[in-house]
Amino acid sequence: MTTINDIAKRANVSRTTVSRALNNSGYVSEEARKRIMKIVEETGYMPNQSAKSLRTKRSGVIGVILPRLSTETSTRVVNGINEVLAKEGFQILLTDTELDRKKEIEYIRLLKSRHVDGIILLATNVNDELIQTIRNVDLPFLAIGQDLPEVTSLVYDDYHASADLTNMLIHKGHHKIAFIGVSRDDPSVGIRREQAFRDVMEREGGEINEHWMGTGDFSIDSGYEEMKKILRASGKNRPSAVYAVTDRMAIGAMEYLKEQGYRIPEDMAVVGIGASSLSQYVSPSLTTIDYFNKKAGQQAAELLLAKLKNEKVDQKFELTYRLILRDSV
Amino acid sequence: MTTINDIAKRANVSRTTVSRALNNSGYVSEEARKRIMKIVEETGYMPNQSAKSLRTKRSGVIGVILPRLSTETSTRVVNGINEVLAKEGFQILLTDTELDRKKEIEYIRLLKSRHVDGIILLATNVNDELIQTIRNVDLPFLAIGQDLPEVTSLVYDDYHASADLTNMLIHKGHHKIAFIGVSRDDPSVGIRREQAFRDVMEREGGEINEHWMGTGDFSIDSGYEEMKKILRASGKNRPSAVYAVTDRMAIGAMEYLKEQGYRIPEDMAVVGIGASSLSQYVSPSLTTIDYFNKKAGQQAAELLLAKLKNEKVDQKFELTYRLILRDSV
DNA sequence: CTGAAAGCGCTTACAG
DNA sequence: CTGAAAGCGCTTACAG
């Protein structure tokens, strides 16, 4: 492995000068610069980033913490993050918590020890230890998806998105709407989306029936199972629509409904959230809400870069969304 | 930021001893160890990985080079890689070439300068400069998806998978089969899958018609467009089935066929490759081939770990596949 | 069982 | 415009 010393020797200058030439810092004679660059070219020399990072305290690496590597939402966000970061010469150090809160905290500290310049967390829950850890590592930090106190957070407008979706169903004539949510550990998805649903239902005189309220775990299977439970529990008094808080659960619900011979949307309307590619190609195509995940990733990266440049950034950002009306309603 | 020196001072030992205690290397009295560990706990000390890496020449980071961050195939592979690596305390440094060959090479060198311990490349093409670069960086290296000369490569069995698929169509009575492939720059997908198709068609007396041969670019849209072209070009003599070399293109083709009022599979059978989640939920569900991408990722990671331990590993690995018969045939 | 010293490959005041 | 020297935070022979 060639080092800066090798280049210096071959160019007949000190390594100080080589460093200056490479980083465009301080004066270097045109002559020396040319000699150095030529040798750099020839040897394919690349500075050792560990040494550089040790010295400068900057690594050019951003840590990204994901709840799950294999969901479309995560992938889109990471894609957006990477697009912006790569352009600025940053790389992503990727970690996957597999939805384990312990790991979330562990990885924040690990990333710190790996000298990342900043961290972007796709957050799925909010708890004191997490907040505490974030404060302690004292690194440029950005959360996406949950509103973390005292942390710069990009949040989807879950309340209004959910309210719009519910309103839309009501205005299409549905007053009996089943709901498939998730655990309240996830404030954004588990609490806010449900709260908006309940608020709108109440305001508009919809019927909320606890037999029609299910709790899934984000998976397609859980959507299927919850739909089954709801239908079995509801007896003669059946909902005419089902609102699942994620596309995957909505698609699971559709599977069960189709199996049971329900026509969608005639016998039962279905809506989800997420605008997954599945939602587009499933049959009938699923009405859903697009959260522009990729854009969220881009924005997160841009904000983090701003922080790295010591620019002041606001603490809270609300992301926009878009209702996509399709054939399932 | 607390360093090993801080710990040493507070524990009244030298940093040498702290290092030994932390790494379980060499002798440390039980007493000293306890004192040290207690302080490590209290301070939440984590060793600076840049310093460690500079000194030991190992970073605990594996570079992963993806052609596209946002495809299900990539995601599944990365997921498999990560699962194995995380267990061993390694992290992934992620790069996305956006299908740009220049970047492929650039990133290999970049990852080297970032002191990764090894590299896994999801390869999409084979060319001399690439092979040369891999040889030059001289790092534990693993390719997935293409057979790179002199590089440990995990390849899907594209030839036989494609042959099986073609055979299956023929045995279902299809002798006129349209084919939507991709550029021959990609030997695995662009050449081998097509070659197997042609070989089987020839052997079994199927009709190969150049009007029925399209070339897409992996996207759903391109599947749609190629299907359109094929149908328009074929006039009265129409195929009864279409084989697209990826699920996404197959789904694009299905979209066009459905728009034109074709019944699937009665008027036209459709098959793809990839076992994407889309293939399962699209309607009718798509017959396809599962390449077990996650398992490929796991195996790649395991092989790389073996290399890091200086174990000898074979140079070529062929992965298995599975035909999934669904309603589109 | 323990510590002083050297060194990994860089950058950056400082002096000239 | 250039270089000698210090130092970033670790690990590892080496000596005791």
- B162 and B68 in one domain? no
Is residue A297, in this structure, part of any structural domain at all?
yes
Is residue A204, in this structure, part of any structural domain at all?
yes
Is residue B325, in this structure, part of any structural domain at all?
no
Instruction: Please tell me which of the candidates B44, B50, B251 has its beta carbon nearest to residue A115.
Output: B50
- A203 and A173 in one domain? yes
- A76 and A39 in one domain? no
Is residue A327, in this structure, part of any structural domain at all?
no
Question: Which of B91, B115, B129 is the mutation pick for testing A, counting most A CBs within 10 A?
Answer: B91
Tokens of residue A68, six digits: 């799950």
- A10 and A74 in one domain? no
Burial class (CB in 10 A: 0-12, 13-18, 19+), A2: middle
Q: Which residues contact B174 (CB under 8 A, 6 or more apart)?
A: B206, B239, B240, B241, B269
Q: Model confidence over B178-193: pLDDT tens digits?
A: 999 999 999 999 999 9
Task: Give the separation between CA B169 and CA B192, rounded to whole angstroms.
Answer: 18
Q: Model confidence over B108-137: pLDDT tens digits?
A: 989 988 889 999 999 999 999 999 999 988
B45 within 8 A of B2, measured Cβ to Cβ: yes
Is residue B227, in this structure, part of any structural domain at all?
yes
- B126 and B12 in one domain? no
Q: Which of residues 118-137 of A touch B (CB under 8 A)?
A: 136
Is residue A329, in this structure, part of any structural domain at all?
no
Q: Model confidence over B209-230: pLDDT tens digits?
A: 999 999 999 999 999 999 999 9
Residue B248: per-residue pLDDT: 96
- A174 and A231 in one domain? yes
Q: To the nearest whole angstrom, how far is the Cα of B207 from the nearest Cα of chain A?
A: 31
Count the domains in chain B.
3
Rounded to an integer, the average pLDDT of B156-171 is 97
Give the phi and the psi of residue A43 in degrees, each rounded to 5. -85, -15
- A299 and A152 in one domain? yes
Any atom of strand D under 7 A from CB of A56? Answer: no
Is residue A177, in this structure, part of any structural domain at all?
yes
CATH number for the domain that contains residue B269: 3.40.50.2300
Is residue B281, in this structure, part of any structural domain at all?
yes
Domain extent, residue B109, equals 58-156+293-319
- State percent of chain B over pLDDT 70: 100
Cβ–Cβ below 8 Å for B75 and A93: no
Question: Which of A114, A120, A134, A135 is the mutation pick for testing B, counting most B CBs within 10 A?
Answer: A114
Q: To the nearest whole angstrom, how far is the Cα of A205 from the nearest Cα of chain B?
A: 35
Task: Give the separation between CA B264 and CA B287, rounded to whole angstroms.
Answer: 11
- B257 and B110 in one domain? no
Q: Model confidence over B267-315: pLDDT tens digits?
A: 999 999 999 999 999 999 999 999 999 999 999 999 999 999 888 999 9
Which positions of chain C lie under 7 Å from any protein Cβ? 1-5, 7-13
Task: Report strand pairing: B322-324 vs B288-290.
Answer: antiparallel
Residue B91 DSSP SS3: strand
Q: Is A79 on the interface with B (CB under 8 A)?
A: yes
Residue B292: per-residue pLDDT: 97
- A178 and A149 in one domain? no
Rounded to an integer, the average pLDDT of B92-109 is 92
Using a CB-CB cut-off of 8 Å, the residues of chain B touching A86 are 95-96
Residue B27: per-residue pLDDT: 85
- A179 and A149 in one domain? no
Any atom of strand D under 7 A from CB of A55? Answer: yes
- B285 and B168 in one domain? yes
Per DSSP, A36 falls in state H
Tell me, what amino acid is at A291?
Y
pLDDT < 50: residue spans in chain A: none
A146 within 8 A of A124, measured Cβ to Cβ: yes
CATH number for the domain that contains residue B39: 1.10.260.40
Residue B115 DSSP SS3: coil
Instruction: Please tell me which of the candidates A95, A281, A283 has its beta carbon nearest to residue B91.
Output: A95
Cβ–Cβ below 8 Å for B115 and A50: yes
pLDDT at B235 over 90: no
Residues near strand C (C-beta below 7 A) are A 1, 3-5, 15-16, 19-20, 22-23, 25, 45, 47-48, 51-52, 54-56; B 12-17, 20, 26-32, 51, 54-55
Boundary-marking domain end, from B28, B47, B66: B47
- A103 and A70 in one domain? yes
Long-range contact pairs involving A75-79 (C-beta distance under 8 Å, separation at least 24): A75/B69, A75/B70, A75/B75, A76/A293, A76/A294, A76/A297, A76/B70, A77/A122, A77/A144, A77/A293, A77/A294, A77/A296, A77/A297, A77/A300, A78/A297, A78/B69, A78/B94, A79/A294, A79/A297, A79/B69, A79/B70, A79/B96
Residue B30: per-residue pLDDT: 87
Q: Is B102 on the interface with A (CB under 8 A)?
A: no
Tell me, what amino acid is at B134?
I
**Residue B324's beta-bridge partner residues?**
B288
Any atom of strand D under 7 A from CB of B4? Answer: yes
